[in-house]
Amino acid sequence: MSSKDKSSLFSNCDPTAFVIQARMNSSRLPGKVLYDFCGKPMLKFQIDLLRKNDLGIDIVVATSNNSENDKIEKLCVDSNIDCVRGDEENVLKRFSKVAELLGLRHIIRLTGDNPLPSLDVIKSCVERHLRAVPDLTSTRQVMKDCSVKRYIPKGLSVDILNCKTLLLINQNSLNDFEKENVIPVFFRQGYNVEIICDYDIGLPELSVDTLEDYERVSTFTRDLLKNGRLLSTLGYQ
């Protein structure tokens, strides 16, 4: 699909933004979102990748008010993108704040420890979201026991939030799990969820949770860059 076709698809869900949640205080790998990733901070690598096709969608980083995240805000300023800061523990509230401040209809939710978002997956999710108009479209399903069933490899997940629904959620009704993980409330409180469970991407897990993950995903990315196949593998050309 051409860049023009992709831009047309995304214009149909305007106003929409990519919102990347990121913070320095990771329990397993602190500061990972700013680790060097093929010559750039990992978060910057993700931002630049999303910009490759000039989709006309704003990119926003949602981080917390804690002082260690000042470095993330500086990266956003230097990258000329918005940084919205809020509660450290209530990530869902941060997303609500972004939706309200920017007047968004839809949020394409990504995370800063998944540096290789697939445009092919994003496009498929957007198409289904626009067709079904649910409260949430996701490549994951949160089960009753709080476990997560994934339909594509970890690190490539996409969630699209309907901001009208997001802003109606009663923050006082949320438990800690729902506050931190954003999407469980949509499953646990009976919202209309469109689950993308039939997409075959043919890629390995690409999430960076541990040092071993970081080394593995970095090597995977360097190999694709060396062979000139990164953009085509992820659907950007």
pLDDT at site 20: 98
Residue 101 belongs to what domain range?
3-233
pLDDT digits (tens, 9 = 90+) for 65-120: 999 999 999 999 999 999 999 999 999 999 999 999 999 999 999 999 999 999 99
User: CA nearest 117: which of 14, 195, 46, 186?
Assistant: 46
Task: Give the C-alpha distances (Å, rounded to integers) separating 35 from 44, 115, 133, 189.
Answer: 10, 11, 37, 37
As a whole number of Å, the end-to-end CA separation of the chain is: 8
Q: How far apart are CA 138 and CA 108, in angstroms?
A: 10
Which CATH number is 111's domain given? Answer: 3.90.550.10
Tell me the pLDDT of the chain averaged across its residues.
Answer: 92
Q: Name the domain count of the chain.
A: 1
pTM assigned to the model: 0.93
